[in-house]
């Protein structure tokens, strides 16, 4: 159960990084 929660948390961090990257690209353009 702990491992599953950690995996979900890691996915959230990756998703957050992707969103930040998209915002950065839009800001650059």
pLDDT given for residue 22 in this prediction = 97
pLDDT given for residue 11 in this prediction = 78
User: d(Cα 1, Cα 4) in Å, to the nearest integer?
Assistant: 5
pLDDT given for residue 6 in this prediction = 66
Tokens of 12: 């959230």
pLDDT 10s digits, 1-29: 566 766 677 778 889 999 999 999 999 98
User: d(Cα 22, Cα 11) in Å, to the nearest integer?
Assistant: 17
- Which letter, b or e, does each residue of 1-29 get, where b requires 16 or more Cβ atoms within 10 Å of its Cβ? eeeeeeeeeeeeeeeeeeeeeeeeeeeee
pLDDT given for residue 2 in this prediction = 63
């Amino acid at each position: 159960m702990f491992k599953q929660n950690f995996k979900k948390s890691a996915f959230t961090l990756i998703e957050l990084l992707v969103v930040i990257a998209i915002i950065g690209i839009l800001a650059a353009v």
